[in-house]
Chains A and B, each alone.
Chain A
Amino acid sequence: DTEVTQTPKHLVMGMTNKKSLKCEQHMGHRAMYWYKQKAKKPPELMFVYSYEKLSINESVPSRFSPECPNSSLLNLHLHALQPEDSALYLCASILRSDREYGYTFGSGTRLTVV
């Protein structure tokens, strides 16, 4: 299995809702990432997990809460989002954060906040 799988593919949520995005990989990768991508813009780094520990938080608002329950799974919990948080949320992984084998990206979750 050489894929990063993200679910759901599309999500529409209200500003008072709580939802979660899920990312899964079974390549034995030990570093996982969340990126946010607005239309016609490059992906922007949000969080980095290395060996299931949060190693980077790029000053992301607390309404985004990451979680790494195990080495294969990465979640992004969403609460009280704003319409400007609507974007494509991408998950990526690499074997380890100090060894590059081409960061593998999932197809993303298209999030719309209404």
Chain B
Amino acid sequence: GESVGLHLPTLSVQEGDNSIINCAYSNSASDYFIWYKQESGKGPQFIIDIRSNMDKRQGQRVTVLLNKTVKHLSLQIAATQPGDSAVYFCAVRTGSSNTGKLIFGQGTTLQVKP
């Protein structure tokens, strides 16, 4: 099966700084990766995704990096804002193409200090 882990349960950054949240996965056959943001009392909100045939993808203020050699995924948030405070999950798709099983990592709580 797949196991997905995060390196740090909590990350505290100063407003305006860049944030980096890391994630490791175990199954080299995993082919699709997503970062989610979850605020208190809400469902996970899609941030950015990346397929295994890419190593970098950029969105608005966010960048996802994928290193398949070491099975590592990271989310970079530029110029972190108070509204970025939330729990961030990486999620990894595993299994056959018809099962679409999405497995979540443990989550990193991002705290943004004003």
| A and B: bona fide binding partners | yes
Could you tell me which A residues sit within 8 Å of B by CB distance?
Answer: 4, 6, 31, 33, 40-45, 48, 50, 55-56, 90, 92, 94, 97-98, 100, 102-108, 110
> At the interface with chain A, which of B14-22, B77-85, B100-108?
B100-108
C-alpha spacing A33/B45, complex, angstroms: 15
29 A-B residue pairings within 8 Å (CB atoms): A31-B100, A33-B102, A41-B107, A42-B89, A42-B105, A42-B107, A43-B104, A44-B104, A48-B100, A55-B98, A56-B101, A92-B102, A97-B98, A97-B100, A98-B98, A98-B100, A100-B32, A102-B46, A102-B49, A103-B34, A103-B46, A103-B91, A103-B102, A105-B36, A105-B44, A106-B43, A107-B42, A107-B43, A110-B41
6 A-B pairs with least C-beta separation: A97-B100, A42-B104, A105-B43, A98-B97, A102-B46, A107-B43
Chain A residue contacts of B105, Cβ below 8 A: 42
The CA of A13 and the CA of B51, in the complex, are separated in Å by 41
Say yes or no: B42 contacts A94, CB within 8 Å.
no
Interface centre among A55, A94, A106, A110 (most CB of B within 10 A): A55
Complex contacts, A41 vs chain B, CB 8 Å: 106-107
Assembled-state Cα–Cα distance A17/B37 (Å):
34
**Closest chain A residue to B96, Cβ basis:** A98
Question: What's the least CB distance linking A93 to chain B, in Å?
Answer: 10
Residues of A within 8 A of B106 (CB): 41-42
Residue B60, interface by CB 8 Å: no
- Are the C-beta atoms of A94 and B43 separated by less than 8 Å? no
Chain B nearest CB from A113 CB (Å) reads 19
Taking a contact as CB atoms under 8 Å apart, the answer to whether A55 and B104 are in contact is no
Contacts of A56 in B (CB 8 A): 99, 101
Chain B positions within 8 Å of A48 at CB level: 99-101
Contacts of A31 in B (CB 8 A): 100
Report chain B residues within 8 Å CB of A98: 97-98, 100
By a CB distance below 8 angstroms, the chain B residues around A6 are 43
A residues within 8 A CB of B51? 100
Q: How far is the CB of B9 from chain A (nearest CB, A)?
A: 9
